[in-house]
Chains A and B, each alone.
Chain A
Amino acid sequence: MIATAWRVVGVGFSLLVVLAAALLYGVDPQQTTSAGSMIGQDFWFSYEFRTDDLTVLMLAVVGVVSACVQVYSIGYVRERVASYTAIVTLFTAAMIAVVIADNLFLLLIGWEVMGACSYLLIGHYWERSDARAGAVKAFLMTRLGDVGFLFGIFVLGVGYHTFRISELGDGPIEPHLLTAGTLLLLVGVIGKSAQVPLQTWLPDAMPGPSPVSALIHAATMVAAGVFLIARLYDVFVAAETTLTVLAVVACVTMLVAAFCAMAAVEVKRVLAWSTVSQLAIMFAGLSLGTDDGRHAALFHLLTHAAFKGLLFLCAGVLLHQVGSAAFVVLRRYTRRGALRKRLPVTFVTMTIGLAALAGVPGFAGFFSKDSVIEAAWHHARDGSAIGWVVLVSVCLTAALTAFYCVRLWLWVFFRTPALAGALGAFEDDDPMADLEEPDSSKLREGSWLMLAPLILLAIGAIGLGYADGVHLNWVVALGTTVLAVFGALPAYSLWQRGADPRPVFLEREFGFDSAYGRAFVVPVQWLARLAVGGDRDVIGGYVRATGRAGVLASAGFRKLQTGNVQTYLTAAVVGAVALAILAGVIGS
């Protein structure tokens, strides 16, 4: 009953958010003022809110995706429903706080609450050790970024002499303070949006429930970094060093993540790496420093929320109905096309989502990716090196994206025509696996509660591309289509031959995790062992020693009890003589 109440609250809240977005659409940008208090001598702290186009856009994204996720979760989540729904609702509220905040500290509050909710939700299936580990890892890495974020807020606030977002960027500031502040904020963004070098937590957050992955790790929380830079764009544009750093980070990340996605063998992991890569594309657009770039990044954020949310929810359906999202398991159902036939809606919507991700012409991803490439090209033509770097990286990433999308689609839904199955294409794979088939008679489509959001998001994945008005640059469009085909062909031919070669360094994801483990985890564990040893052996040793000393002393005293009468008498006589001598000495 409590679960039902929370479900109602959750869905209702999300719908309220959508309503708010609709009401605020087209309204002039405004800010509220409210009571506050002084910090120290110089700073005024108050809870202020603002609204403008960016706010409306984010409210709409958050509201719609959150509503879809809440409805989907009604069919998906079976245990601890009340706490799950409550935390998702709390998360939505925190994201709203971030989006409508006009004060940097208020934004920080929402930012941190989102991190906490992410931790709680990834650990929803806390019986699983990978869920617990992933939750802690996510929390620690985003927290690490948040330290930088906090100090960035301090530096910027002190530099601009105000913490109010609408006033930031208006006043003068010393250049090095600006650079320092924005770089520190960038650290927070890198942590929250899983860019290199803090990208390893996102793929490990996949043991969380799929709707959580869709909401938090695809559409909203990781996009908060993009939102932040877009919100403080004037400030960031003024700090050119930061933009350069951002561009480098984004380009490196998009390529690293795309490569890792090409070697992942589980549906959700592929999607996680894909998220990292697409976020990097958004950051690359922002790093150009032009209004075009910002616009393109936000457009890509919008479409990405739709199709990535859709893809994660589809992966959730597969997980829910089949029981696993690993390629090794799913391909066993491909012999008679069991997945295609028995989960038709899922198949169609997943195809739409993958097409949007890969940039197939006509789908949303195509338009938004092209706008980023266009903005980069304009900037590059104006003579900027960053523009060229971004352009080349995004184009390359587009090809790689097409590769892993096609790879995912083919291996999961279609039987490879290679003879005798694909020998050893995946780990633990049986060469004769293609010939035997698990019992798929019980395989059914998900309930309509899970399918309705899929259909809604699929419509968005197609339709949102046209939301910006269609203005295509035909050269760019042709170029990206060719790139997508170049990426898809190798995937198709590999699948056809039944091969899935995965280089070791890609399977190890460039060794980031093991390096971090050696650099941080091992010393901390060593310190922990040292502390435990110190407590047990040093401090505990002293404690035990006091007891032992008492026992030893009593054992020593017990030796006096010889039981021998003459010994006792001797002692008595000696004592008496000693006392007599003493009395004599004292008396004289």
Chain B
Amino acid sequence: MTTALFSIAGAVALLAAVMVVTSRRIVHAALWLVVALGAVAGCFGALHAEFVALVQILVYVGAIVVLVLFALMLTKAPTNPLPALTTRRSPFAAVVALVLALVLGSGVVLAFGNEKLKPVPDGSAEAVGTAVFRTWVLPFEVLSVLLLAALIGAIVLSQRSGKKGDD
């Protein structure tokens, strides 16, 4: 059961990912990204990690993709299909990705062989929240500082006065 659900979600994710990297219309690529991210959330759900799945949808689909769409709008992304959306080195990149896949895949298979896993025993918000605020509270606080830094950085970067990327 878990396997079937996971496989379906995974297939959808893969397909959508391929469409993201090969689509000729930029906005379509962004929308395919939504599908991919949602499918990944589905994968999480299949593994009974509901909290992570929900956070994925909230943050990724809800915020990040929206941000991407806003950026596309601000950079006047064309809506017509662009043939030159992929660079000349795409065959080489494909080869590189393939080799990487082979290396990693064979490594994984050789390492884990026939190990089995069961779905996560406790993936509820209560369980994860308890873990975060007990064991992982320090990284949590650091993360909030990190977010603050990112916020300030983004504001500084987008200031207009003479900061046209002179770095």
Contacts and interface: CB of A to CB of B under 8 A. Distances in A.
Interface stretch (B31-39, B71-79, B99-107, B134-142): B99-107
Interface string B97-116: 00110010001000000000
* Residue in A577, A580, A584 with the greatest tally of chain B CB atoms within 10 Å: A577
B88 to A, nearest CB: 11
Given A570-B96, A574-B96, A581 B89 contact: no
Contacts of B59: none
B100 A570 contact: no
A566 interface: yes
Given A566-B87, A570-B89, A577 B107 contact: no
A570 B92 contact: yes
A9 to B, nearest CB: 83
B124 to A, nearest CB: 38
Interface in B82-97: 87, 89, 92-93, 96
A573 interface: yes
Contact of B100 (A566, A567, A577, A584): A577
Contacts of B100: 573, 577
Do most interface residues of chain B lie in helix, strand or loop, or is the interface mixed? helix
Contacts of B89: 566-567, 570
Given A570-B96, A584-B103, 6 more contacts: A566-B89, A567-B89, A570-B89, A570-B92, A570-B93, A581-B103
A580 B92 CA distance: 18
Nearest to B107: A584
B27 to A, nearest CB: 22
12 contacts: A566-B87, A566-B89, A567-B89, A570-B96, A573-B100, A574-B96, A577-B96, A577-B99, A580-B103, A580-B107, A581-B103, A584-B103
A581 B93 CA distance: 17
Contacts of A574: 96
Interface in A552-588: 566-567, 570, 573-574, 577, 580-581, 584
B89 to A, nearest CB: 6
Nearest to B104: A580
Interface string A448-489: 000000000000000000000000000000000000000000
A573 B96 CA distance: 8
A197 to B, nearest CB: 81
Nearest to B97: A573
Contacts of B107: 580, 584
A139 B10 CA distance: 102
Nearest to A569: B93
Contacts of A570: 89, 92-93, 96
Nearest to A573: B96
Contacts of B103: 577, 580-581, 584
Question: 8 shortest A-B CB distances, which residue pairs?
Answer: A577-B100, A580-B103, A577-B99, A573-B96, A574-B96, A577-B103, A581-B103, A570-B93
Nearest to B89: A570
Contacts of B99: 577
Nearest to A580: B103
Interface residues of B, number: 9
A567 B107 CA distance: 26
A15 B109 CA distance: 117
A577 B100 CA distance: 6
A585 to B, nearest CB: 11
A577 B97 CA distance: 9
Nearest to B99: A577
Interface in A16-65: none
Contacts of A577: 96, 99-100, 103
Nearest to B101: A577
Contacts of B96: 570, 573-574, 577
A568 to B, nearest CB: 12
A257 B3 CA distance: 124
A574 B93 CA distance: 9
Contacts of B93: 570
Nearest to A578: B99
Contacts of A566: 87, 89
Contacts of A567: 89
B84 to A, nearest CB: 14
A569 to B, nearest CB: 9
B25 to A, nearest CB: 20
Contacts of A580: 103, 107
Interface string B3-41: 000000000000000000000000000000000000000
B93 to A, nearest CB: 6
B53 to A, nearest CB: 30
B10 to A, nearest CB: 24
A573 B89 CA distance: 14
Nearest to A571: B96
A510 B62 CA distance: 112
Contacts of B87: 566
A567 B93 CA distance: 10
B109 to A, nearest CB: 13
B110 to A, nearest CB: 9
A567 B89 CA distance: 9
Nearest to A576: B100
B63 to A, nearest CB: 25
A573 B95 CA distance: 11
A529 B89 CA distance: 55
A117 B5 CA distance: 114
Contacts of A584: 103, 107
A552 B128 CA distance: 60
Interface in A221-266: none
A398 B99 CA distance: 109
A223 B167 CA distance: 91
A570 B90 CA distance: 10
B116 to A, nearest CB: 25
A224 B92 CA distance: 92
A571 to B, nearest CB: 10
A576 to B, nearest CB: 8
Nearest to B95: A574
Interface string A105-142: 00000000000000000000000000000000000000
A242 to B, nearest CB: 91
